[in-house]
Amino acid sequence: MPMKGRFAPSPTGRMHLGNVYSALLSWLSVRSQGGAWVLRIEDIDPQRSRRSFAEQIEDDLKWLGLDWDEYFIQSERSAIYTHYLNILREKGLTYPCYCTRADIMATQAPHEADGRVVYAGTCRPKNLLQAWSNEASHPSGRKPATRIIVPDEDIHFVDAHYGPQSVNLARHCGDFVLRRADGAWAYQLAVVVDDALMGITEVVRGRDLLLSAPQQIYLYRLFGFEVPTFCHLPLLCNEAGQRLCKRDKSLDLGEIRKSGHSPESVLGQLAYYAGIIDCPEPVSALQLVPEFSWKKVPVEDILVRPDFAAC
């Protein structure tokens, strides 16, 4: 299969430097190997996604010189996700879940303090093949979410950057959601179906998603898809040691562009953080291609100065 990478932003706000860092490293990996780069707008959450943010992301990538070869929008792919969800349903691997968020929180063990939600299996039926027979007449009158059963066994994989990993899905997350009760597609299903059908061979993204990979590998195996290489990246952090997010206003690309930075100065700084160049001098995306090597990229998280926009 030809080498192919992708950048898959959720258009729920302006890109911050952490998103740009992931996009840049995925793009450099692809361009340095003569591969193709896919831009996929992950707008499956109708409450949080905005077309205007997607347009802004596209404009930001063009401004940076990160060009793509293929373009997809997840909200146009619902029929494809339905097809793949039905495959799992016909195999007797999914069931309807009527739990509210409050129900789920009430069954949480107190030690899951990292925000991770482990579903206790409250709605998992004894006979999975009849799981959907009472769907229309549930006493709650609510519409169900769709969950997939997970095995109580370790999933092993080797991340190209963080090395061997092993996760037991039953303990890590429990049966997880593939489609929400409001009909919105869950990230795990959409990302696997898309990466597989688009022929993605290398998934590059922040290490906050490292432990999503085993959920995805489980789905890849159920569908009989080939698993791509996963290459997770260190996170860009603010001075408090927290991962950059939308709250770090001064480090979003909107502010940085407004403050007069050139694309070359942003790329030079990020390439320096990534260990690709030795000093943070302005440089174009194309000039970085021959310099790129995964061996140079650190595994430790990277502190970003709050005055980035001003420097």
Q: For residues 72 and 92, give the distance between their C-alpha atoms in angstroms, rounded to a whole number.
A: 30
> Would the CA dihedral through 49, 54, 55, 60 be positive or negative?
positive
Of the pair 86, 242, the CB lying nearest ligand GLU is at 242
**CB of 124 vs ligand GLU, minimal distance in Å:** 27
Kindly state the number of chain residues that form the binding site for ligand GLU, as judged by CB under 6 A: 7
Of the pair 43, 175, the CB lying nearest ligand GLU is at 43
Q: For residues 215 and 88, give the distance between their C-alpha atoms in angstroms, rounded to a whole number.
A: 14
**CB of 210 vs ligand GLU, minimal distance in Å:** 11
Which listed range, 7-15, 28-36, 247-255, 295-303, lies at the site for ligand GLU (CB under 6 A)? 7-15
Q: Is 66 in the site for ligand GLU (CB under 6 A)?
A: no
Strand ranges across the sheet with 94-97: 94-97, 145-148, 176-179
Of the pair 8, 276, the CB lying nearest ligand GLU is at 8
User: Quick one: DSSP state of residue 251?
Assistant: G
Q: For residues 43 and 10, give the distance between their C-alpha atoms in angstroms, rounded to a whole number.
A: 6
Q: Is 9 in the site for ligand GLU (CB under 6 A)?
A: yes
Of the pair 25, 118, the CB lying nearest ligand GLU is at 25
Q: For residues 116 and 252, give the distance between their C-alpha atoms in angstroms, rounded to a whole number.
A: 26
In this structure, the strands spanning 36-41 and 4-7 are parallel
* Identity of residue 71: Y
Of the pair 246, 296, the CB lying nearest ligand GLU is at 246
Which listed range, 2-10, 254-262, 279-287, 300-308, lies at the site for ligand GLU (CB under 6 A)? 2-10
**CB of 248 vs ligand GLU, minimal distance in Å:** 15
- Residues 28-47 binding ligand GLU (CB under 6 A) are 42
- Candidate residues 4, 5, 8, 144; the one interacting with ligand GLU per rule CB under 6 A: 8
128-156: b or e for each residue (b if 16 or more CB lie within 10 Å)?
Answer: eeebbeeeeeeeeeeebbbbbbbeeeebe
Angle at 44 between CA 38 and CA 46, to 5 degrees: 140
**CB of 23 vs ligand GLU, minimal distance in Å:** 10
- Residues 193-212 binding ligand GLU (CB under 6 A) are 205, 209
* Identity of residue 75: S
**CB of 75 vs ligand GLU, minimal distance in Å:** 13
Query: x/- site string to ligand GLU, residues 137 to 176, per CB under 6 A?
Result: ----------------------------------------
Provide φ and ψ at 230, rounded to 5°.
-100, 135
Which residues in this chain contact ligand GLU in the complex, by CB under 6 A?
A: 8-10, 42, 191, 205, 209
